[in-house]
């Protein structure tokens, strides 16, 4: 394979992860020009290109060195590692990305009660995730038959080809529509940045590190709010306890009102109306909650 001096990231061509992944990279300051066949995006500012593929192919492309990084569901990455232990061993989840949340769960027919793993003994369980399901069954001492299906797993019990299923769930609506109910979660998943455990030692490694630093900033900012308010000094302890993430606030005196301060704090997570109302009851007023655009520590 020819050595590359540009970093290449694999991402889903079209699916649930496509838009949020592209938005995340844009927030990291990356701009791309798409090729005519829409399979490749050439990076215009930084030396970072994108390869647009089916999500199932992403871990393999990283393992083979065709791409350096990938944005993929934890479910797909871990399944690849379990079913390809040799090539998968050198790969890692570098960052959780905070979107594409779902869970890989075992579901049983609605009329069956679920009272623990032993109930699955000897049953046929349909799934597209034989590696993850197999690992869960082994760790719970259950001997069940894994029925591999590439898609439409949820109809297997109605067709009589399986007794239970192990599939991705987010709202649970698909399960209800197929008269199934979620029994147990096998993996909590979200989109992750996947890569080889050791970054390349050349320029690509340096670009990857720059990208990771920007990504950390973007993720921190996305989950942060700046809150401003005026508060009586004697209510500061009570108000500070109500700030999400318990930040250490910055205090500024108010001219002509020695018992008052302006409080400024960077909160982890959003600030709800209820939390604002609680702070108002504690004595705060003129409260402002602002999104943060960029942050560099």
When the beta carbons of 128 and 224 are compared against Mg ion, the nearer one is 128
Cα–Cα distance measured from residue 226 to residue 288, given in angstroms and rounded to the nearest whole number: 8
The partner in contact with residue 75, picked from ligand ATP, Mg ion, none with C-beta cut-offs of 5 to 8 angstroms by kind, is ligand ATP
Token match 């399960």: residue?
175
At 153, list the tokens: 């797993």
Cα first-last separation, the chain: 39
Closest approach of ligand ATP to the CB of residue 15, in Å = 3
**Residue carrying the six token digits 């992860």:** 17
12 binds, among Mg ion, ligand ATP, none (CB under 5 to 8 A by kind): ligand ATP
Contact residues for ligand ATP, defined by CB under 6 A: 12, 15-17, 54-56, 73, 75-76, 100, 102, 168, 170, 189
- Ranked by CB distance to ligand ATP, the top (closest) residue is 73
Work out whether strand 191-196 and strand 91-96 pair parallel, antiparallel, or are unpaired. Answer: antiparallel
If you search the block for the tokens 């009851």, which residue do you land on? 281
**Which of Mg ion, ligand ATP, none binds 279 (CB below 5-8 Å, type-dependent)?**
none
Smallest gap from residue 86 Cβ to ligand ATP (A): 23
Distance between CA atoms of residues 59 and 70, nearest Å: 7
For Mg ion, give the closer residue by CB, 6 or 16: 16
CB of 116 to ligand ATP, least distance (A): 26
What is the chain's length?
Answer: 297
Cβ atoms of 11 and 58 closer than 8 Å: yes
Quick one: 56 or 223, whose CB is closer to Mg ion?
Answer: 56
Tokens of 221: 């900012």
State the minimum distance, in angstroms, from the CB of residue 54 to Mg ion: 5
Q: Is 154 or 267 the residue whose CB approaches ligand ATP more closely?
A: 154
Q: Could you list the residues that contact Mg ion (CB under 5 A)?
A: 55-56
Decide: 260 and 233 in contact? Cβ < 8 Å. Answer: yes
Least Å from the CB of residue 185 to Mg ion: 20
């Amino acid at each position: 394979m020819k050595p590359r001096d540009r970093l290449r990231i694999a991402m889903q061509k079209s699916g649930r992860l496509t838009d949020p992944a592209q938005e995340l990279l844009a927030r990291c300051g990356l701009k791309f020009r798409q090729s005519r066949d829409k399979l490749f995006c050439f990076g215009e500012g930084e030396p970072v290109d994108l390869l647009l593929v089916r999500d199932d192919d992403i871990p393999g492309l990283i393992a083979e060195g065709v791409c350096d990084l990938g944005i993929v569901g934890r479910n797909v990455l871990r399944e690849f590692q379990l079913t390809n232990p040799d090539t998968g061993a050198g790969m890692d989840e570098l960052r959780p990305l905070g979107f594409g949340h779902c869970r890989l769960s075992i579901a049983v027919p609605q009329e069956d009660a679920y009272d623990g793993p032993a109930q699955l003994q000897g049953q046929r369980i349909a799934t597209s995730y034989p590696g993850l399901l197999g690992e869960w069954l082994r760790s719970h001492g259950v001997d069940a038959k894994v029925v591999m299906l590439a898609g439409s797993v949820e109809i297997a019990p109605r067709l009589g080809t399986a007794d239970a299923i192990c599939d991705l769930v987010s709202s649970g609506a698909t399960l209800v529509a197929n008269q199934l109910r979620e029994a147990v979660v096998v993996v909590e998943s979200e989109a992750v940045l996947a890569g080889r455990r050791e970054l390349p030692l050349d320029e690509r490694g340096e670009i990857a590190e720059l990208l990771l630093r920007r990504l950390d900033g973007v993720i921190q900012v996305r989950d942060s709010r700046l809150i401003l308010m005026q508060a009586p000094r004697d209510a500061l302890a009570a108000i500070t306890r109500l700030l999400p993430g318990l930040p250490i606030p910055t205090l500024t005196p108010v001219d002509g009102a020695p018992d008052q301060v302006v409080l400024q704090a960077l909160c982890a997570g959003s600030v709800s109306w209820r939390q604002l109302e609680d702070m108002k009851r504690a004595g705060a007023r003129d409260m402002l909650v602002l999104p943060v655009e960029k942050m560099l520590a």
